Structure formats: C-alpha cells, structure tokens
Amino acid sequence: MKLVLGLGKTGFSIARFLSTQNVDYKIADSRTNPPLLSKYASAFLKSPPILGVWTLDLLKEVDEIFISPGIAQNESIVIWAKEQNIPIVSDIELFSRFAKAPIIGITGSNGKSTVTQLLIQMIANAGMQVAMGGNIGTPALDCLSEKVEYYVLELSSYQLDYSRHLNLVAGVVLNITPDHLDRYQSFKHYTNSKLSLHQHCQHLVINLDEPLTLIKANAKCFGIGMPKQADDFGTVTCHDTCYLLKGDDVLMSINEAQLIGEHNTRNILAALALGDQIKLPITSMVQSIKNFKGLEHRLEWVAKKQNIDYYNDSKATNAISTITAIQALMHKHQNIVLILGGIAKQEDYTPLFKRINKSITSVVLIGQSTQQFEQEINTNTSHAKTMQDAVNIAGSMINNGAILLSPGCASFDMFDNFEHRGEVFKRTIKDVI
C-alpha cells in the first residue's frame, strides 16, 4: 500500500498517476478542507481522503510514501515514517522511474523559471518534442508522454529533499542565496539541499560566479568573463558592448537579446551550456535567445509612452529581486520611478533601501508596508491606495525614463497573488495609454 501525503496540486497528480497504474494507495492531508478536496472527491470515489491531524495509524501496511513538497521534514508523519524506515519519495523521483526520454534538471534560488523556459524554447526550435514541469506550472507526472524527446524540470529545494534516485542527463544549480530559512535548520542545510542535484546528473553545468558551487571534473562551466575552456560559455566586453562567447567564438551581442540585466546574461549562459550538453545546434540556440521575450511578471517590458518605458516585475516579492530589477534597468535608464510595497517579508530590507536611495528618482509606495518603508527611504516618495493611482502618480513624477513595478513584497493585502497584481498593473497602463 502506498501513502500519498498532501491533497494539493502535487498530491492530486500523484493519486491520478497511481490510479492509472492500478496501484493501491490512500491519501491524507493534515488540513480538514484542502483546496482540491471537492475535485478529488468527485474524481476518486473509491479512495476517499483521510483528513485532519496526522496519526500513526496512517502508516499501517504502508511500504512507500509519496509526499508533496510543501510538507516539511520536521512534521510528525515524516519523522514517524523515518523511524519505521518507510521510504519517502517525491513526485519527481516517481516521475523519473517512468520517464523514457532524457531529463534535464534546473534549480537555484533565482532564475530557475527563466532558464527553464528559455531551454524549452531552444529544444523546440531544434525540432524536438519537449515537455516542461516540476516546480513550474505542470506537475512532472502530468508531463509523461511517449512522444516527448526531452523533459525539462524546474526543481525546488523541497522537491530535491525527497528525491534520492533521479536520472538526469544534465543539470545546473544556478545560484544559492538565503531563502526558505524557516524550513531549514541553517543556510548550510539549504545549500546542501540545492547542491544535492549534482549527485543525480550525468553531465553537470557549473556557474563559475557562484562560489558555493564547486567546479567538478568534466563539467561545462559558464560565467561573466572570458571562458577558460574551449567548451565553456562566458562574455567579453568590447567598445562598451557585451558579447556572448563559447570558448573564443563570439555568438552574439547581448544587445540582441530581449532580456536585460547581468542576472539575465547569466541565465542565458546557463541555458546555452545546458543546451550544449545535449548537443543542440548553436545557431538555433542563438536565434532562440534573440526571440525570447522573457517571463510574464519578471521584469516584463509592457509599453512605451511619451519617452517612458513601463516594466512589470510583480514577481519580485523580496528585497533581492527588487534590487536585481533596479540594477538591470540602471544600465538602460537614468531616471527610474519605482512602485514598491505590499506585505513586507521577515527579511532585512536595508540593502534595498540603500540601492533605492542611491539609484531611484522617486518611489510610489503601496500596501501595508507604506509607513515602514517611508521611514527608510530618503528619495522623493508618494503614497497610492490603488494601482491606478500608483501608475498615475508615477507618471507625474517623470518626463523620460522608466516606471518599474517591483514591489519587493507579497501581494495579498491588495491582490489575489503576484500574477493578479501584475495583470492589474498592465491593464492600468493600457487604459492610461
């Protein structure tokens, strides 16, 4: 008997897959009303969920547990299972048992989704069937298909924590910065979780600019600067223009890419290195980079009106993300008005305030954090109660340059989620224009 823990998107996917394989299972959730309860109940009448506080009885006759990534390792059910030596497996590991096409794994604190999407486009442009899943959009098990020639998975640290046997043809740890420290005993434990990806890869890709990722033999490397090996990827700057390189060969000017910012240059290099590991043609990869518009709500260019460019970076829900967005636009715009705020996270915003005070023309503050942030910001500030007010006020503060929505906070005080916040911002701009 298998036990599925968690009745969210992942747990539902696991249950559906086990049902198609005619595998006996039971599913449990510590919540009394999980979000997919009604959908599950109508689809799986013969396997009603067990809801409420975990009990030791759940483990009776169970020989394997398939767990949702949202369930922490310090929860009682996980501790009990380990005491009884019951294997605990992620949906990613279960997926890898059945996937017949090569799998590429991508993890990191930042940039996972961009690199995943760009690599997907590169593979598709090379004429191959490719599927994307994992931590981005579709659960991995829902991607299984006989027609797929490559799978590209975005992997979170939580998914890696419960994966012991993956078979990845290639993989990369993009970067490691403090995150999810409420889930881990220390930053070192979080780092080890990310780096565990390496043990699953046939061919590694290493970021030379990330000191926490050690260079390993036969790995393909990338980083800002001249490549040290003929098969590595890097950059060179000549006459104020940055060029992408493979070894000594110039591939393209970074100005030909629609992605902006040094962080996105690294993302592009990572995708190139991964693509090169699976022998994708350089020419089609370069064309994919030129065509790639980036991800919605991630430093997304929206429109230009009267010498003002509007950027939607609603996905920036922490200080580091907003700093990254500001630094990316600084090289393109001298004047930037920032729309900032929401529900502040339990993190140190001091580096963000320093960057704002040094580089931002004006700030429009929104949401619960308005009073808190205003005390730390020395540049010109204004308040807005709605997104429409924020866009209008920002427009009155600048004659040329950029208006950037990069809130650095959660969105739930004013919006359903960061996607909703970004959509409202974009609709407002269209109304203004």
Q: Average pLDDT of the chain?
A: 94
C-beta of residue 352 within 8 angstroms of C-beta of residue 372: no
Task: Examine the residue annotation and report whether 198 is marked as an active-site residue of this protein.
Answer: no
Is the per-residue pLDDT at 405 higher than 80?
yes
What is the per-residue pLDDT across 108-148, written as a single tens digit (0 to 9) for each? Answer: 988 899 999 999 999 999 999 999 999 887 999 999 999 99
Token couple for 101: 């096409």
Token couple for 209: 């600019």
| Set 2, 110, 125, 135: catalytic member | 135
Quote the pLDDT of residue 271. 98
| Set 2, 110, 112, 264: catalytic member | 112
Q: Strand 130-134: give its sheet, edge to edge.
A: 130-134, 150-154, 103-107, 168-173, 201-207, 220-222, 233-238, 241-246, 249-253
Instruction: Give the count of domains, the chain.
Output: 3
What is the per-residue pLDDT across 330-350, written as a single tens digit (0 to 9) for each? Answer: 988 999 999 999 999 888 999
Are residues 110 and 211 located together in one domain of the fold? yes
Are residues 215 and 261 located together in one domain of the fold? yes
Are residues 269 and 329 located together in one domain of the fold? no
What is the spatial distance between Cα 285 and Cα 275, in angstroms, rounded to a whole number?
Answer: 8
What backbone phi and psi angles, to 5 degrees, belong to 396? -80, -10
Are residues 320 and 271 located together in one domain of the fold? no
Are residues 210 and 101 located together in one domain of the fold? yes
Domain that holds residue 40: 2-86
What type of residue is 29? D
Task: Examine the residue annotation and report whether 112 is marked as an active-site residue of this protein.
Answer: yes
Listed residues 258, 291, 324: the one ending a domain: 291
| Set 9, 26, 167, 180: catalytic member | 180
What is the per-residue pLDDT across 143-152, written as a single tens digit (0 to 9) for each? Answer: 999 999 999 9
Is the per-residue pLDDT at 433 higher than 70?
no
Any idea what the CATH number is for the domain that residue 394 is in? 3.90.190.20
Are residues 311 and 387 located together in one domain of the fold? yes
pTM for this predicted structure: 0.87
Which SS3 state, helix, strand or coil, does residue 38 take?
helix
**Pairing label, strands 249-253, 241-246:** antiparallel
Token couple for 127: 């004429």
Quote the pLDDT of residue 183. 82
Mean pLDDT within 348-357: 96
Task: Examine the residue annotation and report whether 279 is marked as an active-site residue of this protein.
Answer: no
